[in-house]
Structure 1
Amino acid sequence: MSSLRLVPGTPDAVLSALSGVLDGSGTPFAPVPSDPAAAERVRQAAAPDEPLEDGCAVVLTTSGSSGEPKGVLLSREALLASAVATHARLGGPGQWLLPMKPYFVGGLQILTRSVVAGQMPVMLGDSFTESAEEMTGPRRYTAMVPTQLARYLDTDLDALRSFDSIIIGGAATPAPLKARAAEAGVTAIPAYGMTETGSGCVYAGEPLDGTSIALDDGRVLIKGTTLFSGYRLRPELTADVLRDGWFRTQDRGEIVDGRLRVIGRIDDVVISGGVNVTLTTVQARLLEHPGVKDAVVLGVPDVEWGTRVVAFVVGEPGRDELRDFVAEALPRTWAPRQVVALDTLPMLASGKVDRQRLLETVR
């Protein structure tokens, strides 16, 4: 077993360390963010002083948005397989713009693809448009979370159109946002994946080369060359989610016309007043309202209802209007009992919504 080193989670430092492990000259590493609290979580999950499991090139720490952070072991082979399969799906290698932190898997894989393509990535500066104008590669790619896409559609539309493909991941892409991007002439490709799958491994519902998907009573299972090797120093947890080569995700899905459609997380169904409510379905309905810019729906413990359905909404409509809007398409009992109006949704550095912070405001 080899040792693990910690490197600063800056683009330059991660790119240098990554180049070394990909060509075999470097040592395994874990990128560390500058925020002290986040850095401490990485140190605990990565455990740099403990012997490192064989075959690991990089240890990434999950965001911990809904649970305990874990160290995810990614091999050199998995990183390269993801990069090669991504380029094959997009039409060939190209130059990448990095608009996200490289200590998360989305940012790390942009750097991996850049190394594989032999193209120096462009780092996002203060202006997305100005950063896009720095790109010189024959094919131009980037990746971002839905919130970034929504923002840039308002402020940097021409720059978005200049990319051959834009991978959208980190969270589910709302249908209205996908439609808006398509109408604007932006090639935005929703990707499904996570740290354990080496970033996105299913693009627009279709698995990348080398990846297989299956369903087990609605649970999404993934198998393939991009999968992680296990969790750092957590053999029991690894054995629980990696079975016979299949990774058992926490997501529910269905196959529609040969494409995977992710419905939500296993725990997205709550019981409120004796009624099963699918939170992601309520959230999707709210996002169809023309006055709602963004929304997240969560279940909150409640003495009367068992679980209270709470909608956190960026937009103008009030509680009664939104309850009626939900009830037009879904059972009335699914309508949120509480609506919290926000100027913006709180975000983690990974680009995901900070659910714990939202829950703290209503408990």
Structure 2
Amino acid sequence: GNQPRTLLAWLALMQCGARVLPVNPQLPQTLLEALVPKLTLRFALTLEGENAFSGLTALQIQKSTAAYAVDWQPQRLVSMTLTSGSTGLPKAAVHTCQAHLASAQGVLSLMPFGPQDDWLLSLPLFHVSGQGIMWRWLFAGARMTVRDKQPLEQMLAGCTHASLVPTQLWRLLANRAAVTLKAVLLGGAVIPVELTDQASKQGIRCWCGYGLTEFASTVCAKEADGSDDVGAPLPGREIRIVDNEVWLRAASMAEGYWRDGKLIPLVNDEGWFATRDRGDLNHGRLTIAGRLDNLFFSGGEGIQPEEVERVINAHPLVQQAFVVPVEDKEFGHRPVAVVEYASQAGDVNLAEWVRDKLARFQQPVRWLTLPSELKNGGIKISRRALQQWVCENCKN
């Protein structure tokens, strides 16, 4: 979680001219040992727990009265953020100050956030979604609240803005707790109309969008309206669809991936970043179908797991659902669902529930419950790990 000193350390490191690589404390030691040597790091600052970076010089935080700051250079490389790659080792996307500010400027061209407003830093700084809040605060000269972890209602006291997932907002509205809130940036899947209607009755406007680590968070956004597109590209972002794949370029784009002291370019020969997201543009608004890499075929029919997951996730007792392919002699592959249920879920017959909501070929042939060992503390569950677990279970 973020503590006030996490933020202060980050700002101090930027003021020293350092390139900051924030690390999720939940990352396994073996992964860090594989990653760190390629990133040519020299110092480590550990705010709590053991120093996991034995080969690096440990830094201490000390209060100092002397003012020190490098000259402001918008083009300076300022952050390295690990992508949550679904395959292979995470890559470190490197951004300049200018790119982060371009990201902030684009979001704030759509979402009002002024000097009197106060955004809760509710997301971790090792994700671009958390960094996005910090840069919007710096760009707008507004206020930002950073509190030690406590129930969300208490953390939001006095805040006008927050970045939340739909379940958090549902809970706040049900408790009528979101008194000072006036604007929410919602992350995650499709946003139900009932949620945004209820929020607007309590004086809260909701926005949603589409973002990537490589683009310092949000690329497209809109005020939530119940339709399943993610909005139009924000100022300074451009989109092309090539063979159903979303290509992007933007002022907020990373300079490259950092490896062995060098920047590896992100863009293809045409100067665009190919996202591997499947999508289409309609009247300037982008709709994302899912990851191209997740698409599989069953009896000749293409199945995009995210489309099936969206339907299952709409069930009130489902927390999250995943659909993965298992090999099948007759069909090539068949879909299997792995579901995390809400704590109060008794016997839920999802197979029955999806029958009139999905095409026959899309309906999962087996329903499994998500095992706790696959919840690795990251924001995303690894599809590859899920796939392996399902294959082992379906043999039995």
Counterpart contact for 2:256–2:266, Cα < 8 Å: no
What is the aligned partner in structure 1 of residue 297 from structure 2?
Answer: 271
Match 1:203 to one of 206, 217, 221: 221
Q: Please list, as runs of the form range in 1=range in 2, the aligned pairs for 1:152-231 lying within 5 A after superposition.
A: 152-155=169-172, 157=174, 158-160=176-178, 162-169=180-187, 171=188, 173-176=189-192, 178-185=193-200, 186-204=204-222, 205-231=231-257
- Distance in 1, Cα, partners of 2:80 & 2:339: 35
CA–CA separation in structure 1 for the residues paired with 2:41 and 2:378: 22
For the residues of structure 2 that align with 1:241 and 1:191, how far apart are their CA atoms?
22
Q: CA deviation at 1:152?
A: 4.2
Tell me, in whole angstroms, the C-alpha distance in 2 between the residues paired with 1:196 and 1:72: 6
For the 8 Å contact 2:255–2:263, the answer to whether it is kept is no
Counterpart Cα distance in 1 of 2:24 and 2:311: 36
SS at match of 1:101: coil
* 8 Å contact from structure 2 (residues 199, 205) kept in 1: no
Deviates more, 1:350-359 or 1:26-35: 350-359
Residue deviations 1:247-290 (CA, integer Å, cap 9, x gap): 11110111234311111111232022443222122112223445
CA deviations 1:99-158 (Å, max 9, x no partner) are 1211111111212222233324333621111111144xxxx22213x3xx3144125653
In 2, Cα distance between the equivalents of 1:49 and 1:235? 12
1:111 is paired with a residue whose SS is helix
Which residue does the alignment assign to 1:107?
Answer: 130
Aligned to 1:106, the other structure's residue is in SS state: helix
C-alpha distance in 1, partners of 2:79/2:361?
46
Alpha carbons of structure 1 residues 262 and 352: separation in structure 2 relative to 1, 3 Å: same
Q: Which residue of 1 aligns with 2:18?
A: 27
Quick one: structure 1 residues 257 and 163, their matched pair in 2 at CA, closer, same or farther if it must change by over 3 Å?
A: farther
* Aligned residue in 1 for 2:67: none
The number of aligned residues is 340
Deviations 1:43-79 (A, max 9, x none): 24533159xxx84211111123444210111111101
- Alignment correspondent of 1:121: 145
Would you say the 8 A contact 1:128–1:156 is kept in 2? Answer: no
Gaps of 5+ in 2: 44-74, 223-230, 392-396
Instruction: Give the TM-score of the pair, scaled to structure 1.
Output: 0.80
- The one-letter code sitting in structure 1 at the alignment partner of 2:309 is Q
With the length of structure 2 as denominator, give the TM-score of the two structures: 0.74
Based on CA coordinates, which of the two structures has the bigger radius of gyration?
A: 2
Residue 78 of structure 1, aligned match among 82, 94, 99: 99
Q: CA deviation at 1:305?
A: 4.5
Paired residue for 2:284? 258
Name the CA shift for 1:154/1:255 in 2 (closer, same or farther; >3 Å). Answer: same
Q: Which residue of 2 aligns with 1:57?
A: 78
Aligned to 2:350: 322
Instruction: Measure, in 2, the Cα distance between the counterparts of 1:17 and 1:275.
Output: 49
Do the aligned partners of 1:70 and 1:232 also contact (CA within 8 Å) in 2? yes
Task: Give the aligned partner of residue 46 of structure 1.
Answer: 39
For the Cα contact (< 8 Å) 2:211–2:219, is it kept in 1? yes
Q: How far has the Cα of 1:195 moved from its partner?
A: 0.5
* Residue 12 of structure 1 pairs with residue 30 of structure 2: no
| 1:355 to 1:273, Cα distance in 2 relative to 1, 3 A | same
Per-residue deviation, 1:346: 5.4
- 2:161 counterpart residue number: 141
Of 104-113 and 289-298, the range deviating more from structure 2: 289-298
Instruction: Answer whether contact 1:18 1:112 (CA < 8 A) is retained.
Output: no
Q: Among residues 115, 127, 132, which one is paired with 2:156 in the alignment?
A: 132
Give the Å deviation of 1:90: 0.7
CA contact (8 A) 1:10 1:102 kept: no
> Quick check: 2:40–2:261 contact (8 Å CA) kept in 1?
no
Deviates more, 1:182-191 or 1:339-348: 339-348
Amino acid at match of 1:126: Q
Quick one: distance in 2 between partners of 1:106 and 1:290? 26
The amino acid across from 1:27 in the alignment is A
CA distance in 1, matches of 2:148, 2:186: 16
Q: 1:45 & 1:14 partners in 2: Cα distance?
A: 26
